[in-house]
Amino acid sequence: MNIQWYPGHMAKTKRLLAEQLRWVDVVIELGDARLPVSSRNPLLPQLLGSKSKLLILNKSDLADPLWTNRWLTELRKVSPVIALSATRGEGVSQIMPNLNRLVTAKMDSLKAKGVRSRTIRVMVAGIPNIGKSTLINQLTGGAQAKTGNKPGVTRGNQWIRIHDRFDLLDTPGLLWPKFDDQEVGYKLAAVGSISDDIFDLQELSAWLLDWLYLHYPQTGQRYNLGIEKITLEAIGRARGCLLQGGRIDTLKAAQILLREFRQGNLGRITMDLLEPGLPDN
Ligand SMILES: Nc1nc2c(ncn2[C@@H]2O[C@H](COP(=O)(O)OP(=O)(O)OP(=O)(O)O)[C@@H](O)[C@H]2O)c(=O)[nH]1
Ligand SMILES: [Mg+2]
């Protein structure tokens, strides 16, 4: 798949993040619970330096709960991490206690230095379409941050105050220029974090079908198929996607598959698996 996944505005976004970081007390790194590794920017640790960080795995309503638990156990060995669903509000109440814990030492030391008490500044960072703005709206109980079901909705940085105590910085989604592993690109495209305009939907769908057959073969039932390998033709046939002359419209079938996968209609699916060989995945 030869896609241009690093649009021009990304370099600007990286600069914006780097500039704003000096004002920030703690960073929320938002990842996708379906991709606890692949959705996370490998450049972020370097950008953050020693800044405190809370990792949040969002969209847990779409991820396989078994895998989410496994990942939480694994990732918790490295840094604080929670899983939640920003649209449903499930798990959101874990955020404030975790943030408080992470900034207590810093705020105490500022107080000891005689700095007047001020709000705690939190940057929310992550790849496009991961739910940064949705999460901020969930925390404010309003719709101050613009959201949308496609990458690249938030363009500039935006500060939003909550509970009179925190200032949250919404940021545009950031990708990185090169994927070491081609599969990461496919996975990010499959969940909708890379724009649909810049790759071949049929090629992506074919990859997704291979992946599903290997890891979640029961998904074929959605299209009245058994556990045989699903094809775009079979989906098109099941959904009556026909071109003139009776040929099957495989592009339409690809669009249906991707939409339903992203909405969770194929079930709760995690695409980063800790040990691909585990028998019960
Ligand atoms: N199922 C599900 N969908 C979610 C969740 N959180 C956000 N979404 C959806 O994901 C899409 C993107 O949400 P945004 O909040 O705009 O994402 P963003 O990270 O701000 O995106 P950019 O500004 O483009 O970088 C929207 O359609 C949301 O409704 C979640 O927890 N579960
Ligand atoms: Mg946004």
Give 63-108 pLDDT, tens digit per residue: 999 999 999 999 999 999 999 999 999 999 999 999 999 999 888 8
CA of 248 to the centre of ligand 1 (A): 32
Q: Is 85 in the pocket of ligand 1 (CB under 6 A)?
A: yes
Residue 181 C-alpha from the chain's centroid: 18
Q: Give the model's confidence band at 274: pLDDT under 50 very low, under 70 low, under 90 confident, else very high.
A: confident
Tell me which CATH code domain 9-170 carries. 3.40.50.300
Question: Does the global pTM surpass 0.85?
Answer: yes
Atom of ligand 1 nearest to the CA of 172: 25
Residue with the bigger pLDDT between 118 and 61: it is 61
Q: Give the model's confidence band at 6: pLDDT under 50 very low, under 70 low, under 90 confident, else very high.
A: low
Relative to beta strand 120-126, strand 166-170 is parallel
- Which residue from 39, 130, 136 has its CB within 8 A of the most atoms of ligand 1, so it is best to mutate? 130
Q: Is 171 in the pocket of ligand 1 (CB under 6 A)?
A: no
133: CB partners within 8 A, 6+ apart: 145, 146, 147, 153, 154, 170
Q: Cβ-count burial of 13 within 10 angstroms (0-12 exposed, 13-18 middle, 19+ buried)?
A: buried
Could you state, in order of their start, the residue ranges of all structural domains in the chain?
9-170, 200-263
In terms of Cα–Cα distance, which of 45, 139, 44 is closest to 98? 139
CA of 65 to the centre of ligand 2 (A): 25
Tell me which CATH code domain 200-263 carries. 1.10.1580.10
Give 166-195 pLDDT, tens digit per residue: 999 988 888 887 777 889 999 999 999 988
Atom of ligand 1 nearest to the CA of 148: 16
Give 121-150 pLDDT, tens digit per residue: 999 999 989 999 999 999 988 777 788 888
